[in-house]
Structure 1
Amino acid sequence: MRVVERHELDLAFAKEQVGRFHKRAMESDIPRLTRTPARLRDLLTHALGELGYRCAADPGAYEGHTWEAATLAMQAGAAVFQVAQRTEGTVECKIYTEPVAIPATGPTHWSNEANWLKALFLTMICRERERTDMLCAVPEELLRASDAGGVPLPYLEHWGRALRTWWRREPEHYDHLIEAVRQADPDAPGLDRDGGEHIALLALPRMKMFKAIAENDEAAFNGALFEALELHRTYWTRDDERAANSTSYIALEPLALACLARELGFTIDVQSPYIPEALLDGRWVGEFPT
């Protein structure tokens, strides 16, 4: 079993941030959803923040509150695209423990490819197949509607297509993956330092993991997972600001792909706090209303 250790963190700061993000989600975001659907964007951000900081103190995600944060983030991410597919009336979405009637929004600048990917990976972590099906049926035109803000990085469009067509068992998924890899050039003109590092250290390693899933290659997957987690640590420790970000404490996309690989029967021989054990093995699935 190979192990990727997590970077050092300020545990007291992380615990303080848990309360801050939880309060924002529960007291500021959820109560306003029936009037202000834009709060879904904030809820997704705050629930993900809470999840990351909870994993700082609970690196195995053994505590129920950690799973609740993951579930709430998943619910918020899926709801963004449930309401974006309607332009009139309200859409009933499960948020925390209750159904909430949220006004339809049509496409918005937050119903974009980047948030779609977050939502998709959260459904994979939570083993929410119906929500994964829903997300993979979202029309691509919605993600790139005129008021949806465009695609921030060129590879995202084909990366999303590779994932959704694979999930739908459509044969062109491999072609989209190859095109996503081609477009994921860390040295492309116009990319700043952060964009180049994001592609080299985060995006490309995840694509390598997915390629191993598509080829049903367990050994290659574990090698790619180990590399992805090492590079995740490299990216998030380039400076102190990154290292303190809640996103640094959990490798969301590698975790989701590892959960997917487990569901396909792969044996995972890599351990790391970046992919908390209780989220990876799904032991909390069914223990919280979704």
Structure 2
Amino acid sequence: FPFFYDDEYLEVTGKRDPEHAEHPVWLLAFFSSIIARNHDAIAYLTAIDNDVFKTSNYGNQLRPFDYALSDLLKGLFNPRADLAPLIEQAYITCNPDDYVDDEAYLYVSRLEWPLIPIITAIFTENGEQEYNQAMEKALLAHREYYNNEDHEGANEGAIPLALTALAIIAKDVKGYKLTVENGYIPAWLIDVTPPTDPN
């Protein structure tokens, strides 16, 4: 698919591999597609059923929140979706008891659960202040996770793809401006003029 970067289109090619269609890989591709404003890729990814994640490698390790998060993210791009029950389900499944492994709990509680208040604020009428408050908390949680000596220096810590993608949605859909001072989300990714279709 064509990927818009630095005022030009680059062709990105990959092969389908259902066995490795894991939930974390889907999230990475989904957030990257939002950042690239690649509507074809977003449409393709939103069409992927949660059963694909269940049958992939490590599918048995997924928790209810993983499915609720993917349903909510898909719903953001479905004009017929009722976001209220999707948001509610995401909040309900933020359950520490689902994570017996400390590292898994630390990851989801610092990097994924904070996405839900951001999404809630974006789709709340006049929610710009709440959006920035939720984003500030999420950025602090991101920093806390990656300042830990076990994660320090990880490439994923440099630019939080999920938070960057949500900042783009907030701007493009609601016109919300990110006012939180931070060294993580590049303004040039948010404020870029969306590309026109190369065809």
TM range (shorter): 0.7 to 0.9
- Answer whether contact 2:99 2:105 (CA < 8 A) is retained: no
How far apart are the structure 2 equivalents of 1:227 and 1:246? Answer: 21
- TM-score w.r.t. structure 2 length? 0.83
Query: In angstroms, what is the RMSD of aligned CA positions?
Result: 2.7
Among 272, 275, 280, the residue aligned to 2:182: 272
1:211 paired with 2:142, answer no
User: Shift of residue 286 of structure 1?
Assistant: 4.2
User: Shift of residue 142 of structure 1?
Assistant: 2.4
Look up the equivalent residue of 1:166 and give its one-letter code.
L
1:223 paired with 2:158, answer no
1:198 paired with 2:123, answer no
- Answer whether contact 1:208 1:224 (CA < 8 A) is retained: yes
User: Shift of residue 148 of structure 1?
Assistant: 4.3
* Aligned counterpart, 1:252: 161
* Aligned counterpart, 2:78: 168
Look up the equivalent residue of 2:78 and give its one-letter code.
R
Among 92, 109, 112, the residue aligned to 1:182: 92
How far apart are the structure 2 equivalents of 1:253 and 1:147? Answer: 22
How far apart are the structure 1 equivalents of 2:93 and 2:43? Answer: 26
- State the SS of the aligned residue for 2:80: coil
| Change beyond 3 A, Cα 1:189–1:255 | closer
Among 20, 25, 31, the residue aligned to 1:121: 31
Runs of 4+ in 1 over 6 A off after TM superposition: none
How far apart are the structure 2 equivalents of 1:158 and 1:174? Answer: 12
- Answer whether contact 2:22 2:56 (CA < 8 A) is retained: no
How far apart are the structure 1 equivalents of 2:73 and 2:98? Answer: 26
Among 49, 67, 87, the residue aligned to 1:157: 67
* Aligned counterpart, 1:136: 46
User: How many equivalent residue pairs?
Assistant: 191
Determine what percentage of the aligned residue pairs are the same residue: 23
How far apart are the structure 2 equivalents of 1:163 and 1:147? Answer: 19
